[in-house]
Structure 1
Amino acid sequence: MSLLSVRDLTVKFSNRTGALTALNGISFDLARGERLGIVGESGAGKSITGFALMNLLSQPGFIDGGQILFEGEDVTQMSKKQVRDMRGNRMAMIFQDPMVTLNPVLTIGQQMVETLRAHRKLSFEEARQIALVKLKEVYIPSPVERFEQYPHELSGGMRQRIIIAMALLLDPKLIIADEPTTALDVTIQADIMELLLEMCQSNQVGLILITHDLGVVSQVTERTMVMYAGRIIENGPTRSIINDPQHPYTQGLISALPQQTQPGQRLKQIPGVMPTLSDMPSGCPFHPRCDHATETCKSQVPDISQSGESFVACHEVHRLQKELASEAAQ
């Protein structure tokens, strides 16, 4: 049985005229201990997916349909108590900004102990010892001293290590990391991602890494899911998607990476912008930005089909791959 199985998940946001669809029938699975990357531009639905999995959507957002089966239990049907027991305990989330996540008026130790005692029957000293062990695991120097400090007394990288330690406090089966290195400089980003990877591997924890950075995805994840306008448009092994992208959008993302351009040349970019929820195009949502779009693309939403090692939602993918193979053979 998969650790996580998502089926036809639809998320909407209410407005004055009805509801706008933010996630449109997405489906995927995550095995125990597997590391999955979710990539795409801003507005693709990546973070909404993470919030929906944790049942953290607040009004006007709501889950309109589908299933989120976590260890065989449907998260969408859980009571409030069941959801509270699941969050932090069996499924944890690392947010973008640690200063927003951490309570500024409580010490690091108070927050870690409070988290532990909310889910376990522990004395203060027992919780303290577990917290100190976790701080050591994420290579926090002088953990006893850090335990007594407030968030503002720590650097950005240190705070993010604290967040990872807190996510691991209760030995969850799954961690959802939403852009965990956005607010950090490049050298600290690499350290944090290396730490997160090490923690997941050593504890056999499943990881969903939400990011726009394909470089990070290539280093950390085993499988990658590319999202566009609330839909999954490509899903496959990370190495395959990086080295042999099938969907024109994925190809555009790879081509836009700085390392794909010669020094002194203008960076490549995908023309146009992500459509808004209130102005979603008919057919394939990517067709207004796609050089290969046909009349079919403009009128019909593509089904998922296999191409190479990936599963792709594109009407023209097989034709394009035949053309590429023909060009390579000449």
Structure 2
Amino acid sequence: MSHLLEVNDLEVKFGLRQGDLTAINGISFNLDKGERMGLVGESGAGKSVTGFAIINLISKPGFISGGRVIFNGQDLAALSEEAMREIRGNHISMIFQDPMMTLNPVLTIGTQMVETLQAHRRITQAEAEAIALEKLKKVQIPSPEKRLAQYPHEFSGGMRQRIVIAIALITDPEIIIADEPTTALDVTIQAEIMDLLQQLCESEDTGLILITHDLGVVSQVTEKIAVMYAGKIVESGLTERVVNNPKHPYTQGLIKALPGSLQPGARLNQIPGMMPTLTDIPPGCAFNPRCPLCETICRNQEPPFIPVDHLTRMVACHMVKPEPSMGTR
């Protein structure tokens, strides 16, 4: 069975004077139509780079050095820039972290939405304005006719993010990549935006790749999850199973760091140390300097990414063994 999106052994490097540094090291996952997936990890794990690599927006000195990104049977990494422009924004849209950096401050919202549509479709100004108005209504912008003539600075942060979502949806894409879409918003607005994004993806049957460090958000929105660390996926599976029964020590640390996981009066857990830089990734398992279960093998051998149960749970950890009924692999 073919998937809408297949990422196979994707590798991204950055060419520097001291040599090429690997930012994404052979990750694989897939996404079906209407499916919602979370990419989770701390800053520096490689989540955003993965999102940019999917739509071939890696800036120099970065480059895709290996693997394939297959969308509807096409290898996106092999397409020309002209061919990618047909895919990017039209079939796969991206919601970036900061709406003020995404929206042009000197153009009205209507102008930006109409330009986006006319860049991908041969339609008149009136037709484009009608579609823009419809999308603003879908993201619950009040008085949308009036808002089309306003500028980004006239909106609150939450409203700007709704407009960015409307622009991402304006071409009816098959997939939306949302890169930390609620970073600059307060908690109550974050919840509203995520609820809206989930509802829109469900109603439009749009696939979603949600990039975030917040496992709490992912658990509410996505169906499956991939946890990244130092450029690799260390655990993946159904969101409910990964969140409720994490196998990898890193995933366990992220779950324990959620305020909602605490007993009354308990101290908030913290994973010791920091994510390694690309120039200082340790041998063996990259997580070994911070891992409470670390043994000699963890410092010397890179763990294989293997299934550990019957529901497609995959984990890369020497200390996690397959369930007995699965046998050895």
Shorter-chain TM-score bucket reads: over 0.9
Post-superposition shift, 1:297? Answer: 1.1
Alignment correspondent of 1:225: 226
Point out the more displaced range, 20-29 or 286-295.
286-295
Corresponding position of 1:46: 47
RMSD: 1.1
Q: Distance between the aligned counterparts of 2:308 and 2:259, measured in 1?
A: 26
Quote how far apart the aligned CAs of 1:265 are. Answer: 3.2
Letter in 1 for 2:90: N
CA distance in 1: counterparts of 2:189 and 2:173, whole angstroms: 25
Displacement, 1:318? 1.6
CA distance in 2, matches of 1:36, 1:261: 26
Letter in 1 for 2:251: T
Distance 2:98 2:166 in 1: 15
Output the CA distance in 2 between the equivalents of 1:146 and 1:260: 41
Equivalence for 1:175: 176
Q: How far, CA to CA, are the matches of 1:304 and 1:262 in structure 2? A: 33
Task: Give the 3-state SS of the residue equivalent to 1:161 in structure 2.
Answer: helix
In structure 2, what is the Cα distance between the partners aligned to 1:99 and 1:134? 19
Alignment partner, residue 189 of structure 2: 188
Corresponding residue for residue 125 of structure 1? 126
Counterpart in 2 of 1:325? none
* Residue 265 (str. 1) matches residue 238 (str. 2): no
- Partner Cα separation in structure 2 for residue 190 and residue 56 of structure 1: 29
SS at match of 1:236: strand
- Mapped to 1, the partners of 2:285 and 2:73 lie a distance apart of 33
* DSSP 3-state at the match of 2:268: coil
- Which residue pairs with 1:315 in the alignment? 318
Tell me how far 1:148 sits from its aligned partner. 0.3
Partner of 2:327 in structure 1?
Answer: none
1:87 is matched with 88
Aligned AA (1:249): Y
Shift of 1:263: 3.8
Where does residue 73 of structure 1 map in the other structure?
74
SS across alignment from 1:245:
coil
Distance 1:209 1:54 in 2: 15
Return the alpha-carbon distance in structure 1 between the equivalents of residues 248 and 265 of structure 2. 28
Does residue 276 (structure 1) correspond to residue 277 (structure 2)? The answer is yes
SS at match of 1:139: coil
Q: Deviations over 1:45-78 (max 9, x none)?
A: 0011001011111011111111000111111111
How many residues matched?
Answer: 321
Secondary structure of 2:279's match?
helix
Deviations 1:232-258 (A, max 9, x none): 000000000010001111011111111
1-structure distance, mates of 2:52, 2:152 = 24
- Aligned mates of 1:261, 1:255 — CA distance in 2: 7
Q: Secondary structure at the match of 1:277?
A: coil
Which residue number in structure 2 is paired with residue 6 of structure 1?
7
Cα deviation, residue 293, structure 1: 1.4
Residue 17 of structure 1: how far off its partner (Å):
1.0
Pairwise CA distance, 1:264: 3.7
> Secondary structure of 2:24's partner?
strand
Does the residue aligned with 1:175 lie in a helix, a strand or coil?
strand
Kindly state the Cα deviation for residue 15 of structure 1 after the two structures are TM-superposed: 1.0
Q: Give the secondary-structure state (helix, strand or coil) at the position aligned to 2:237.
A: strand
Which SS does the other structure have where 1:252 is aligned? helix
Shift of 1:260: 2.1
Amino acid at match of 2:88: R
Describe the SS at the equivalent of 1:278. Answer: coil
Structure 1 residue 306: Cα displacement: 1.5
Deviation of the 1:164 alpha carbon: 0.6
| CA distance in 2: counterparts of 1:9 and 1:243, whole angstroms | 28
Q: CA deviation at 1:261?
A: 2.2
- For residues 29 and 47 of structure 1, the distance between their equivalents in structure 2, rounded to whole angstroms, comes to 17
Instruction: Give unpaired runs (5+ residues) of structure 2.
Output: 325-329
Measure the CA separation in 2 of the matches of 1:242 and 1:219.
10
Deviation at 1:281, TM superposition (A): 0.3
Deviation at 1:278, TM superposition (A): 0.2
Structure 1: gaps (5+ residues): 323-330
Give distance in 2, aligned partners of 1:245 and 1:266.
Answer: 20
SS in 1 for 2:306: strand
Aligned twin of 2:61: 60
SS in 2 for 1:114: helix
